A and B are shown apart, each in its own frame.
Chain A
Amino acid sequence: MTVPEGDEVMTAETLQASQLEHRDYVAAVEDYYQRGWTDGLPVVPPEPARVAAFLGAGGVTAREVVGAVPTRDVIVTAEDVAINAVMAGCLPEYAPVALTAVRALLHDEAIPHSVTATLASAAQLIIVNGPVREEIGVESGQGCMGPGFRANATIGRALRLVVRNVLRSIPHELDRGVFSTPNRYSFCFGEDEEGTSWVPLHVERGLRAGQSAVTVASTMGPIIAHPRSHVPELIIEHLTRVLFLDGSLWEHQLGSVADLPVVLGQEHQRFFIAAGWSKADIRRALWDQISPLARESDGAGLRLGRPEGILLVAAGGPGDQVTVVMPPHVGLAVTLPVPARAEKTATEQTS
């Protein structure tokens, strides 16, 4: 078990949550199903020692407040995040990233009540930047948005289990998503900073290079766009058409100004970079295309607000000319630094 800095020793005995007794592991999993505490998939039973280890690796105490949703009288503590992260399958070393993701979602600018109660089935996209990706194995290359990567899968799932169990966004109750979305099981990947010469997302958003960071955005995507051209201007044109057809950037029933993540795949990165385009060039060109557009039916204008609301990310594998656009729900994307970890965890020390 690890010990955080500070004067409180994190042990299983210092935890606050109610304890439950089960005959064995399988009985515990079934009990969590019965209580409605899973996303429909089995969970790892959150034993106190595992939860304490997660808190220790995160360098936080159980009672530390991570955030709140005042509209629901909900306060989220580090212990709540730890319990749900253990249930999601997170290793202790994922704690700084998982805790930061929850902090980002609960930021006022993310409008957490809206994005977790909505009819529009928004899901929370987590983008990880910086050295922590390599340290804990966040995939940013081929297949990064799909299954097969423990850090991606369980950090994204941890956030959503917090949304379900602590924020009480449960289908047929507070969660009113018309269809909901498979992205709500988990939606987390890294930016492929090593595969591109572009400035990473978190640096464009004001953090320093070499700093690890998490960005959380609520999105109704992804939409996979296949511009077949090698010409930057034509790729931008295609993305503009895709966005306009989707329409959510012009949907003022959604209310607030939003941010738009655009994840450029390797082939498109290659074409842009070969033509000398930076992320800033792409952002400007896309902004120039979409900002004058208004919806034909009622003349509604763009709700993106400013060019900086286009969040460009490099990720994915080679072999197809693919870019993914993430139609935004409401609120802004929030980027926060990931704090340095308390110390090596037991799993790292033995590996």
Chain B
Amino acid sequence: MLITLDPTGVRNRGQVPHRVAARRPLAGARVGLVSNGLGRAEDLLYAVYSLLRDDAGVASAVPVRKPHRSVPPLPEDWDRLLTGADVVIAGFGGCGSCSTRTIRDAMELEWAGIPSVALVHEDMLPAVEAMTRLAGMPDYPYVVVGRTRTSLCDWDDATVATVAKEVAGETMALLSGTAAGRSAE
């Protein structure tokens, strides 16, 4: 008989049970826009915000640009979000490390009490799903941009506007708690 050891270090992952933040109507909400700087990410986030302003009555934007696509917001920007945003949209998750960090940004903001949504590309879904599993929230939802668009968000103005229209409805539903599979608390 040969005895060997598990190499995965899984025992180190003391998983704390996490909850999503309570949802409220979006009218008057201050919307954090957490950009990772990938391609036209900032433009996309602003375009979605503009649609939310017109359709859901959100009040203002709190823009944050991360120093790198694969890291959290800077501590001072994190504080700005916690004190100045009622909901957050994070994006764009179009590469391996940006998609995974984007979904993590959204989850961490949920844990801090801010309803959030990540915009990610369809090609990155296996990585995004791995991240939600690792965090103990395998059913945490996100908004998907299909692979008819390039994943690196290197889009022209018309594509940015079109994608924003495509994702705005689901973004609103997830942030307000009206999407299927997630109820307002």
**Residue contact A174 to B152, C-beta cutoff 8 Å:** no
Nearest-neighbour CB distance to chain A for B78, whole angstroms, equals: 13
Closest 6 CB pairs of A and B: A176-B96, A114-B70, A114-B97, A80-B9, A17-B5, A117-B96
| Chain A residues within 8 Å of B51, by CB | none
| Chain A residues within 8 Å of B99, by CB | 176
**Residue contact B68 to A176, C-beta cutoff 8 Å:** no
Restricting to B1-57, which residues have a CB under 8 Å from any CB of A? 1-13, 15, 37-39
Nearest-neighbour CB distance to chain A for B58, whole angstroms, equals: 28
User: Taking A47-B4, A113-B100 as contacts, is the C-beta distance between A253 and B152 under 8 angstroms?
Assistant: yes
**Residue contact A165 to B9, C-beta cutoff 8 Å:** yes
**Residue contact A75 to B5, C-beta cutoff 8 Å:** no
Give A51 to B7 CA distance when docked, in angstroms: 11
Q: Interface size for chain B: under 10, 10 to 19, 20 to 34, or 35 or more residues?
A: 35 or more
Say yes or no: is B118 at the interface (Cβ < 8 Å to chain A): no
Give A72 to B107 CA distance when docked, in angstroms: 12
The listed residue (B1, B67, B96, B134) touching A175 by CB distance below 8 A is B96
Give A76 to B13 CA distance when docked, in angstroms: 10
**A75-99 CB contact bits vs B (8 Å, 1 = yes)?**
1110110011001000000000000
User: Taking A168-B130, A256-B68 as contacts, is the C-beta distance between A119 and B96 under 8 angstroms?
Assistant: yes
| Chain A residues within 8 Å of B124, by CB | 176
User: Taking A118-B97, A172-B126 as contacts, is the C-beta distance between A37 and B7 under 8 angstroms?
Assistant: yes
**Residue contact A28 to B97, C-beta cutoff 8 Å:** no
Give A47 to B3 CA distance when docked, in angstroms: 6
Give A37 to B38 CA distance when docked, in angstroms: 33
Restricting to A6-34, which residues have a CB under 8 Å from any CB of B? 15-25, 27-28, 32
**Residue contact B5 to A25, C-beta cutoff 8 Å:** no
Name B8's closest neighbour in chain A (CB-CB).
Answer: A165
User: Taking A46-B7, A255-B68, A255-B70 as contacts, is the C-beta distance between A21 and B2 under 8 angstroms?
Assistant: yes
Nearest-neighbour CB distance to chain B for A111, whole angstroms, equals: 6
| Chain B residues within 8 Å of A255, by CB | 37, 68-70
Say yes or no: is A225 at the interface (Cβ < 8 Å to chain B): no
User: Taking A24-B2, A161-B7, A253-B152 as contacts, is the C-beta distance between A113 and B97 under 8 angstroms?
Assistant: yes
Residues of B in contact with A (beta carbons under 8 Å apart): 1-13, 15, 37-39, 67-72, 95-97, 99-101, 104, 124, 126-127, 129-131, 134-135, 151-152, 154
User: Taking A48-B3, A73-B135, A253-B152 as contacts, is the C-beta distance between A330 and B126 under 8 angstroms?
Assistant: no
**Residue contact B2 to A80, C-beta cutoff 8 Å:** no
Give A276 to B71 CA distance when docked, in angstroms: 43
Name A51's closest neighbour in chain B (CB-CB).
Answer: B5
Say yes or no: is A58 at the interface (Cβ < 8 Å to chain B): no
**Residue contact B100 to A71, C-beta cutoff 8 Å:** yes
User: Taking A19-B5, A113-B101 as contacts, is the C-beta distance between A73 and B127 under 8 angstroms?
Assistant: no
**Residue contact A174 to B130, C-beta cutoff 8 Å:** yes
The listed residue (B2, B15, B126) touching A28 by CB distance below 8 A is B2
Say yes or no: is A190 at the interface (Cβ < 8 Å to chain B): no
**Residue contact B100 to A21, C-beta cutoff 8 Å:** no
The listed residue (A25, A48, A74, A176) touching B127 by CB distance below 8 A is A176
Nearest-neighbour CB distance to chain A for B86, whole angstroms, equals: 25
| Chain A residues within 8 Å of B129, by CB | 173
**Residue contact A77 to B9, C-beta cutoff 8 Å:** yes
Give A351 to B185 CA distance when docked, in angstroms: 68
| Chain B residues within 8 Å of A330, by CB | 68, 70
A–B Cβ pairs within 8 angstroms, 9 of them = A17-B5, A71-B101, A73-B134, A74-B13, A75-B12, A166-B8, A175-B96, A176-B96, A253-B152
**Residue contact A173 to B127, C-beta cutoff 8 Å:** yes
| Chain B residues within 8 Å of A79, by CB | 9
